[in-house]
Amino acid sequence: MLFRISVVKIAAALSVTSALSATALAQDMKGMDMSGGDMSQMSDSAEMDHDMHMGNGNMKNMALHMAYTDLRPANDADKARAAVLVTDLQHALAKYKDYHVAEADGFKPFHPEFKQQKVVHFTKNWYGLKAAFTFNPTEPTSLLYERAPDGGYKLIGAMYTDRKAATLDELNERVPLSVARWHRHVNFCIPARGTDMKTADWTKFGPNGSIATKEACDAAGGRFFPQVFGWMVHVYPWETNPQLVWAH
């Protein structure tokens, strides 16, 4: 029993360390201009994920920094399991259609003052930490809100997360890989410490940059990160088109 508790404590410490490293990375990149993407608004994996999916920057280069799970063969059991996940999520998130309720429950929006964001991630850090150990389909790490004309937010989906080291089978246990494609952010080259981020060449560096190997990063004097943050998957439970429910 003591051994089990120690393992859990160590895992928790590693998870927190990973989260702190992600925040430190975002701080290192603060203030940079990436051809339309403002990294100063990125304070954790959800915010980074938002920028990568909203079309900011060079689409060709962005593809260099995204890795997806392959779709496994479709089967009825997985479809049924995914359908249950969606139904459960619909019920769990119904109350959060009022974003004030989400905020009261601990979901925090990332820099809502940046009006160029069409979709805003509301993230609950406690759920993100728990997701490193266990999966609760009714407790997504982030809620996805679309900006409404009246200045409020319309709930459109959610994001599940898992730790960096999760295996494909472990991801599949959470959300079937025959239905959804989990993704992760990879091969980031960040300028050397002390670099003026406002004058750095962001056509080369960052999540939209052309550098995607350690060799090229070393040659440019940067710092290379093989993977940033953990695994993520989006779900849009109210989409009427089945192909868009688990769209990435």
Question: What tokens were used for 188?
Answer: 């980031």
Q: For the sheet containing 142-147, what is the strand order? A: 66-68, 183-190, 223-235, 153-162, 142-147, 119-123, 108-109
Burial environment of residue 152 by CB neighbours within 10 A (0 to 12, 13 to 18, 19 or more): exposed
Which whole number is the average pLDDT over 112-140?
87
- Yes or no: say if 115 and 153 are a contact pair by the CB < 8 Å rule: no
| 239 vs 231: CA distance, rounded Å | 23
pLDDT in tens, 105-114: 999 987 665 5
pLDDT in tens, 208-236: 899 999 999 999 999 999 998 899 999 99
Confidence of residue 202 (pLDDT cuts 50, 70, 90): confident
Q: Which pLDDT score is estimated for 199?
A: 87
pTM of the model: 0.75
Tally helices (H) and strands (E) across the chain.
9, 9
Q: What percent of the chain shows pLDDT beyond 90?
A: 58
Question: What tokens were used for 75?
Answer: 């089967």
Q: Which pLDDT score is estimated for 189?
A: 94
Q: What is the CA radius of gyration of the chain?
A: 18
Q: What percent of the chain shows pLDDT beyond 70?
A: 73
Q: Which residues contact 84 (CB under 8 A, 6 or more apart)?
A: none
